[in-house]
Amino acid sequence: MRANSVGWLLLTPTLPILFVFGVIPFLYVLVIGFMNWNSFAANPDMQFAWAENFRRLVFDDQFLYSLWLTLKFAFFAVLSEIVLGYFLAQLFMKDFPGKGFFRTIHTLPLVIAPIAVGATWRLLTVPGLGPLPYYLNRWLGYEFNISRYIDQAFFTTVVMDVWHWTPLVTLTLLAALSSLPKEPFEQAQIDGANRFQIFWHITLPLLKPAILATVFIRMMDALRTVDEVWMLTGGGPGAATRYIGLHIWRVVFPKTDYGYGSAMSLITLYLTIVMCWMLYAGLVARRDLKRAE
Amino acid sequence: MYHFKSLIASTLTAALLSSTTPAFADFWSDAAKGLEGTTIRGISESTPPSNYAKDVLGPAFTKATGIKVEFEATSWDQMYDKAIKDMEANTGIYDFVYIEQDIIYSYLARNFLVDVTQALNENPNLKSPTFDPTKFTSFIDNFKNDKGDLFGVPMEAFIKVYLYRKDLFDDPKIKEAYKAKYGADLAPAKDHKEYRQIAQFFTEWGKANGQEIFGTTVQAASGHPAAVYEVVESIFPTYGVYNWGIDTKAYGASVANGGRMNSPEAKAALTWWIGNLAYAPPESTSSTWDEVAATFAAGRAAQGLVYGENAAWIATDDKKSNVVGKVGVALPPVEPGIIEQATSGAGYIGYYDGGAFGIPHSSKNKKAALLWLQYIGQDSVQTDWALAGSRITHKATYEDPKVQAQDKKVDGYYTLMREKGPLFRGAPPFPFHNQVREAIAPFIYQAITGELKPDEALDKAAAAADAELKNLGYRK
C-alpha cells in the first residue's frame, strides 16, 4: 500500500500534463469525429452528424487504400529492421577493427530529425539532380525515378525508414544479447546443438521479450509515419506512398474536413490498438496461458 | 537676366521642397509614434517578390517607423497551413499574411481579413499620403469586396508565360534541321501541335548532340498540388475549358452536372499535357512551379510554361541562371479560336497570378500592419521590386526607365504583360479551391504515373469534385 502511495505521489506532476496534452485532445477529436465540420463549406458551423463520418469511411476507397498501404509499409519496414538489426547486433557482439567507429556511424541516423531524414533522401533521389538516379542510370542503365514509378517510391520509403530506425533495433537487441546468461549456450554446445538449433531454441526465446517490445515500438511508429515521407514524396507518385498519417493530414488541413479527418484518426487509433493487442495476445498471452495450464 | 530668373526659380523650388518634403518623409515616423519597437509578424511563400519584401522592404520600413518586421518566407503549402490555422484559431500569431488571388474568396467568406479601406477611414492619422489604391493596375480589384472595400494590398502580379530558348530557336543550323524534318519554320509555338513537335525535335536533337536538353518543362509533381494547378489553370483554358471546368452557377464539375471537367476538350487537354512528359526532363514529375523555373534556368529545356515572377531572374541573373540573354517570351500555345474567345472576354488563355498582403482579423498589431501594407503599396518602392521579382502591381511601373531597360533583357515580358494581360485571368471566385483541388488531385497524380488514362482520370476527378461540392453544400 505504501509503495502504491509513493508511486502515485511520483506520478502526480505527470498526470495533469497527460490530462491536458493527452486526454483533452483525444476527447476533442472524439467529439469532432461525430460532427460535420468544414470551415470552407457553405455552412461552416459544426453540425452533429451522428455516425455519418464513420459510415463514409467504410466506403472510402482512398482511405481504405491508404490503410492497406500503411500496413504493407509497416510490415516490410519493421520486418527488415528486426532482421537487419539482429544481424548487426550479433556483429557488434564480436570484436573487429574499427568496431567503435562503425557503431558510432551506424547510430548517427537515430539522432537526425525525421524531416531532415526526408530532406536528405529527397536530395539523394530527386530525378535529374540526385546522385542515386544518376549513378544507377550511368552504371546499370536503370531508370530510377521515385516521382514516376510507384513501386520504386514505395520501396524507397521502406529503405529510408530502415536506414533511419535499424540502429534503434540494433541497440535494443545488443543490450538484450549482452545480458543473456552464458550457461544455456555452453550447455547446448556440450549437448552438440548446431548454430541454427542454438539460435532457434535458446537465443530466440531468450530474446523474445526484447524483440516484442521493439516490434511494438517500431510498428506503432511505422503506422503513424508522416514527416519523412511527406518530405520525400509528398505521398506520391499518385497515391503510392500516401500512408494513413499523410492521408489524414491532407483531409484535415488542406481540405479542412475536420469532422471526417477526426473520424479517420479515431479509426486508425482503434486499429493500431487492436493490432498491438492481437500481437500481444498471439505471442505473449498464449505463452502465459500455456504456463498456467 | 535668364540666369537670374533661373536662379530665383531654383531657389523657390528648393525652398518649396525643403518645406514639403519633411512632411512626407516624416509621415512614417509620425504615424508610427507609440508603435516603435512593435514587432509585426507575417508569412508568405518564398518567391522572388516575397524575398525582396523580406530582405529590402522590411528593413527599410523598420528604419522609417521603428516597427520591426518578422517575415517568414516558407513553402507554399506551409504558408497556407500556418496562416489558415492562425486565423481559424484566432491565435494572432501573424499580423499580415499572403493572400493569393484564388484564396481571397475563401478568406472573405470566413471574414478572416481586416477591411483595409474601413480601417484607414477609422484611423485617418495612419493614412499615408503616398498610398493611393487608384495607382494600382486592375489586379487590385481581386482584393475588393462587393462594396469596393480593399482587403489586401497587391504585392505581386504576373502572368504564366511561354518561355523558350531564343538562342536555340534562332540558331541557323537548328532552324535548318527543323525545317528539313517538319517542313516548317522553327518559331515559338502558336498551338499545341506545334508545341509538341518542337518538344519532340529538341529532345531528339539533345540526344543526337550529346546535350542534356529536353523539349519542354512540365509542372507535373506527382504528389503536389502544383500539377493540378497547371492542368486546371494553364492547360484547360488553352483548350477552352474555363473555371477549372466547374459550372459557376450550379457548381457541377462533370458534364452530366453541367460542368466541363470531363468534357472532350478537357480530356484532350490532359492527354496532351501528359504526352509532353515523354519530352520533358526526368525531374518533371517532381517539379512544382519552382523546379520548372530552375529546370529552365539550368538550360535543360527548350521551352515551357513558367510563372512570370521568375522571368526576370532567369533572363538576367547570371549567378542563378545559365540562360541569361537567351530567353524568349511569348503567349502560351492555344487551340484555334481560343484567342478570339479571350479577346472578346468570353474566355482566357492562361493564368494571371499574384497576391496581396492582408491583415488577419486575429492580428494583435493591426495599426502597425496597416502602415506596413501602405508602405509596400507606395509608388516609390515599386520599380526595384519589379526588377527583383518581375512583378508589376502599379500602372506607373511600366513606364519606369529601369523597368523598360529590363523589359528588353527579358524579351518584352513586361510589355507582353501590359498589352496581353487582359487575355489572362485569375482563378474563378470559388470559396472552395483547396477542397476541390484535394478531391481531384489523386486522379491527376495517377494520370501522371500512368495508373489511370487521362480520360479515366478526368471522369473520376469530375465525379469526386461533384461529390465534394455536394458534401460542402454548394451543389444541391
pLDDT in tens, A230-243: 999 999 899 999 99
- CB-based burial of residue A89 (10 Å sphere; 0-12 exposed, 13-18 middle, 19+ buried)? buried
Give the integer Cα–Cα distance in Å for A147 and A143. 12
Kindly state whether residue A269 falls inside one of the protein's structural domains.
yes
Classify the C-alpha dihedral B118-B122-B128-B130 as positive or negative: positive
* Residue ranges of chain B whose pLDDT lies below 70: 1-25
Structural contact between residues B213 and B202, judged by C-beta atoms closer than 8 angstroms: yes
Backbone angles phi, psi at B371, to 5 degrees: -65, -45
Give B224's contacts in chain A (Cβ within 8 Å).
234, 236
Q: Is the pLDDT of residue A59 over 70?
A: yes
Name the helix (H) or strand (E) containing B307: strand B303-307
Strand partners, B424: B350
Q: Do B445 and A236 touch (CB under 8 A)?
A: yes
**pLDDT at residue number B26:** 82
Give the integer Cα–Cα distance in Å for B67 and B44. 19
Tracing cell 549513378 back to the chain, one arrives at A135
DSSP SS3 for B451: coil
Give the integer Cα–Cα distance in Å for B199 and B288. 19
How long is chain A?
A: 293
What's the grid cell of residue B31?
504615424
Quote the ipTM score. Answer: 0.87
pLDDT digits (tens, 9 = 90+) for A251-268: 998 999 999 999 999 999
DSSP E strand boundaries for B95-235: 96-100, 153-165
Tracing cell 557503431 back to the chain, one arrives at A103
Confidence of residue A290 (pLDDT cuts 50, 70, 90): low
- DSSP β-ladder status, B68-74 and B39-45: parallel
pLDDT digits (tens, 9 = 90+) for A195-212: 999 999 999 999 988 998
Min Cα separation B386/chain A (Å): 30
Q: Is the pLDDT of residue A93 over 60?
A: yes
Closest in A150, A234, A250 to B449, CB measured? A150
- What CATH superfamily is the domain B159-352? Periplasmic binding protein-like II (3.40.190.10)
Min Cα separation B449/chain A (Å): 5
Give B225's contacts in chain A (Cβ within 8 Å).
254
Give the integer Cα–Cα distance in Å for B372 and B59. 11
Interface test mutation site (partner B, options A32, A147, A242, A257, max chain B beta carbons within 10 A): A147
Give the integer Cα–Cα distance in Å for B446 and B223. 9
**pLDDT at residue number B5:** 54
- DSSP β-ladder status, B303-307 and B153-165: antiparallel
- Contact of B472 with chain A, judged by CB distance below 8 Å, is answered with yes
**pLDDT at residue number B17:** 43
Strand partners, B70: B41
Give A41's contacts in chain B (Cβ within 8 Å).
432, 471-474
Instruction: Kindly list the distances between the CA atom of residue B398 and the CA atoms of A31, A182, B230, B381, B416, in Å, as whole numbers in the listed order.
Output: 55, 84, 27, 13, 11
**pLDDT at residue number B390:** 87
Confidence of residue A279 (pLDDT cuts 50, 70, 90): confident
CATH of the domain at A68: 1.10.3720.10
Average pLDDT on A161-184 reads 95
**pLDDT at residue number A113:** 95
Structural contact between residues B227 and B445, judged by C-beta atoms closer than 8 angstroms: yes
Domain B26-157+353-408, what architecture? 3-Layer(aba) Sandwich (3.40)
**pLDDT at residue number B15:** 47
| Across A56-70, A83-97, B15-29, least confident range | B15-29
**pLDDT at residue number B23:** 45
Average pLDDT on A77-95 reads 95
Kindly state whether residue A274 falls inside one of the protein's structural domains.
yes
The per-type count for chain A, helices as H runs and strands as E runs, is: 16, 2
Structural contact between residues A44 and B110, judged by C-beta atoms closer than 8 angstroms: yes
- Contact of B78 with chain A, judged by CB distance below 8 Å, is answered with no
- Contact of A239 with chain B, judged by CB distance below 8 Å, is answered with yes
- Contact of A41 with chain B, judged by CB distance below 8 Å, is answered with yes
Kindly state whether residue A195 falls inside one of the protein's structural domains.
yes
Interface test mutation site (partner B, options A255, A257, A260, A264, max chain B beta carbons within 10 A): A255
- Contact of B446 with chain A, judged by CB distance below 8 Å, is answered with yes
What's the grid cell of residue B419?
498589352
Q: What radius of gyration, in Å, describes the C-alpha atoms of chain A?
A: 23
Q: Do A43 and B473 touch (CB under 8 A)?
A: yes
Closest in B88, B282, B437 to A128, CB measured? B282
Domain that holds residue A233: 14-292
**pLDDT at residue number B329:** 97
**pLDDT at residue number B18:** 44
Average pLDDT on A38-64 reads 94
Q: Which of B310, B298, B312, B241 is nearest to B273 (CA)?
A: B241
**pLDDT at residue number B19:** 43
Q: What radius of gyration, in Å, describes the C-alpha atoms of chain B?
A: 24
Kindly state whether residue A6 falls inside one of the protein's structural domains.
no
Kindly state whether residue A171 falls inside one of the protein's structural domains.
yes
Give the integer Cα–Cα distance in Å for B449 and B440. 15
CATH 3.40.190.10 intervals, chain B = 26-157+353-408, 159-352
Number of domains in chain A: 1
Structural contact between residues B159 and B423, judged by C-beta atoms closer than 8 angstroms: no
Classify the C-alpha dihedral B192-B197-B200-B205 as positive or negative: negative
The per-type count for chain B, helices as H runs and strands as E runs, is: 21, 8
**pLDDT at residue number B476:** 79
Give the integer Cα–Cα distance in Å for B218 and A242. 22
- B136: DSSP letter: B
**pLDDT at residue number B20:** 42
Interface test mutation site (partner B, options A121, A256, A260, max chain B beta carbons within 10 A): A256
Give A144's contacts in chain B (Cβ within 8 Å).
none
Min Cα separation A73/chain B (Å): 18
Instruction: List all residues of chain A from 91 to 130 with a beta carbon under 8 Å from chain B.
Output: 126-129
How crowded is the C-beta side of B5, counted as CA atoms within 13 Å? 2
Give the whole-number percent of chain A exceeding pLDDT 90: 83
